[in-house]
A and B are shown apart, each in its own frame.
Chain A
Amino acid sequence: MQAKRTVFPNKILPYFLLLPQLAVTLIFFIWPALQAVKSSFEREDPFGFRTTFVWFENYRRLFIDPLYLSSVGKTAIFAFSVTLLSMSLSLILAVAVNRVLRTNRLYTTLLVWPYAVAPVVVGILWWFMFNPNIGIAPYLLRGLGISWNHRVDGVDAMILVIIAASWKQISYNFLFFVAGLQSVPNSLIEAAAIDGAGPFKRFWTIVFPLLAPTTFFLLIVNINYAMFDTFGIIDATTQGGPAQATNTLVYKVYSDGFIGLNIGSSSAQSVVLMIIVIALTAIQFRYVERRIQY
C-alpha cells in the first residue's frame, strides 16, 4: 500500500494517532459483528437461562422458512424497482440539465435538496400523500376508478415504499449522472452532429455508452441503498406489512430480533446480510476502481 517516499521516523506516535479510530471500530463494529456470528450458531431457551451450540441449525431453519424466503423475494423486487425507477428518472433529468446553459445551477439546486431529508421523514411525507382517508393520491385514483389502500393491499404497500424510496434517491443519482455527462468530450458529440446524427441518436450511440462507468457505479450504490438505507422509510409507512408484504431483509432483522426477541434467527439473518454487503463492497471496489477506459 502506498505511503510517502520519506516518512517520519517515529515508531510509537502512529499508534496513538490510530488509537481513537481503531478503538471505536473494534468496540462498536468488529466485536458486535463477531457476537452476531457467534450467536447465529446458538439457540437460547425461551427464558434465556441456557444457550446451546447448534451448528447451522439457525441457518437451516432460516432457509426453509417460507416467511424468510418471501422476504428475500420482496427485497429483490423492492431493490430492483427502486434502482430502475430512480436511476431512469435521474438520468432524464441529468440529460435535461446538461442541455440548458444559463439556468442549470438553479435547476440543480431545486433537484438536489431531497438528499438531506431523513428516510423516516420521506416515509411520513408519502404516507400522508397516500393516506387512504384524506390523502390526495387515493382521492385522485378514486377518480380513475382505482381503490387504494396500502393498509390492506400488499401490492399497494409495495408501490408506496418503492415510490418513496426512489424519490429520496433521485438527487444522489442526478448529481453523479451530471458529473458523468460533463466528462463526455464535446468533440465526439460535435463530430457525430456533423455526420448527421440527431440528438437522440447521439445520446444512445455516444453519450450513454460513455456513461457506463457511472451507471455501473450507481447500480451498485442503489442496490446497497435500497437494501440497507430504507429502514426508516419502511418503518414510517408500512412497518413491513400488510401481511409481510414489504418486510425487507433489514426490516426483518430488526423486527425478529428487537421486537420478536428471536436472537438466534435474527443473528443468522444478520450474518447473511453481512455477506451480501461484503459482496457488494467487493464488487464496487474491484470493478469501479478500475474504471472502464476508452
Chain B
Amino acid sequence: MIENRPFLAFLTHLVLIVGVVVVAFPVYLAFIASTHGSGDFMRGLVPLLPGPHMIENYSYMFNVGLSTAGAPPLSIMLLNSLVMAISIAVGKIIISILSAYAIVYFKFPFRLLAFWTIFITLMLPVEVRIIPTFKVVSDLGMLNSYPGLIIPLIASATATFLFRQFFLTVPDELMEAARVDGAGPLKFFRDILLPLSRTNIAALFVILFIYGWVQYLWPLLVTTDSKYYTVVMGIKRLAATADAEPQWNFVMAAVMLAMLPPVLVVILMQRLFVKGLVETEK
C-alpha cells in the first residue's frame, strides 16, 4: 500500500463484501428453499430463513427422486456425472499428452498437418454442429451409453497445447542424456517426462473435471434412457415440472447436490485450479 487512506480501505472492503454477497445470494436462496416443505412455496414470497425439512428433502431426492418428472434418484445421476467427468478428464489428458509428445519429440511427415487438425477442434464446439455429430454417434450405436457420453468430448486442443508448451521448456539435455544411457522413447516418456508433468496434469485435471461435470447439451442429446442421465441435465427435467406443481424444495435440494462436487474441487484445489485456468488459456 502506497499511502494510508482509511476511507479508501473501507470502500475497498465494502466493494468486496457486496461482491461476495451478490455472488453468493442466488445459492443462499436455493439452499434455504431446499430446507422447507412443499407447502411453503404456495404463498407470495420464497422463505428467506432455513426451514426444518433439510435432511428429509435431501435424502428423499438422493434415494428416491421425483418419478413424476421422469428422473431417477440423484444417487444414480451423481454417479453418472462422476463417471463422465472423470473419464473425460482422464481421457483428454491421456490423448493430449501422447499427441503433444509425438509433435515435440519426433520429426515425421505430416507433422504440421496433424498439429493443425488438432488445432481445428478449437473452432468446432458441439453447439455449432449439433445434428451431424448426433447422427454420427447414433450411426455408431453409441446413444444411451457411457462411451457415447464420453468419447466425442475427449479431443482437446487446449490440453495438447499446454503439454506442447511445457515439453518445449524441458531441457534438451535430459533427452540426450537418456538416449546416451540407452533409454528408448517410451522409457523416456514414462520415467522422465511423465513425472515432470505431474503438476501440469493435476492442474489440467481440475479444469477438465469441471468441464466434464457441467456438460449439458451433449448428455441432453445422446441420452433418452434415464439410466444414463447426468445430474446437470436431470435437474432441468425436474425444474420443468416444478413450475407446474411447486416442488421447489426438492428441485433446489437437487441443485445443491449437483453444484457441490465441482465447487468443492475449486475451493479445495484453488491453487491448481487457478494455474490450470490461466495456463490453458495462454
Contacts and interface: CB of A to CB of B under 8 A. Distances in A.
Interface of A: 1-8, 10-11, 13-15, 17-18, 20-22, 24-33, 35-36, 39, 89, 92-93, 96-97, 99-101, 107-121, 124-129, 131, 134-136, 139, 167, 170-172, 175-176, 179, 189-190, 193, 199, 217, 221, 228-229, 231-232, 235-236, 250, 253-254, 257-258, 263, 266-267, 270, 273-274, 277-278, 281
Contact of B252 (A128, A235, A281): A128
B166 interface: no
Nearest to B40: A134
Contacts of B248: 128, 134
Interface in B1-47: 1-3, 5, 8-9, 12-13, 15-16, 19-20, 23-27, 29-30, 33, 41, 43-46
Nearest to B189: A17
A114 B278 CA distance: 16
Contacts of B27: 125
B102 A32 contact: no
B120 A124 contact: no
A29 B232 contact: no
Contact of A93 (B19, B44, B104): B19
Contact of A274 (B5, B123, B152): B123
Given A118-B258, A135-B46, A4 B104 contact: yes
Please tell me the size bucket of the interface on B.
35 or more
A2 B267 CA distance: 37
A193 B2 CA distance: 7
A32 B137 CA distance: 10
A128 B33 contact: yes
B259 interface: yes
B121 A25 contact: yes
Which of B41, B48, B124, B172 has most chain A Cβ within 10 Å?
Answer: B124
Given A96-B16, A126-B26, A3 B105 contact: yes
Given A92-B15, A167-B23, A1 B131 contact: no
A18 B33 contact: no
B49 interface: no
B265 interface: yes
A106 to B, nearest CB: 9
Given A127-B239, A231-B217, 8 more contacts: A2-B168, A8-B185, A8-B188, A17-B102, A21-B155, A32-B136, A120-B232, A270-B129
Given A4-B104, A124-B255, A274 B3 contact: no
Contacts of A18: 98-99, 102-103, 114
The 7 A-B pairs at the shortest CB distance, nearest first, are namely: A118-B214, A32-B132, A116-B262, A35-B132, A17-B102, A14-B102, A14-B106
30 contacts: A2-B168, A8-B179, A13-B186, A14-B106, A17-B99, A18-B99, A21-B96, A25-B120, A28-B152, A29-B120, A29-B124, A33-B124, A36-B131, A93-B19, A100-B9, A101-B1, A110-B24, A112-B270, A118-B262, A121-B255, A124-B239, A125-B255, A128-B30, A128-B252, A189-B2, A266-B130, A270-B130, A277-B124, A277-B125, A281-B123
Contacts of B106: 3, 7-8, 10, 13-14, 17
Interface in B102-121: 102-108, 111-112, 114-115, 117-118, 120-121
A258 B216 contact: no
A178 B252 CA distance: 32
A31 B136 contact: yes
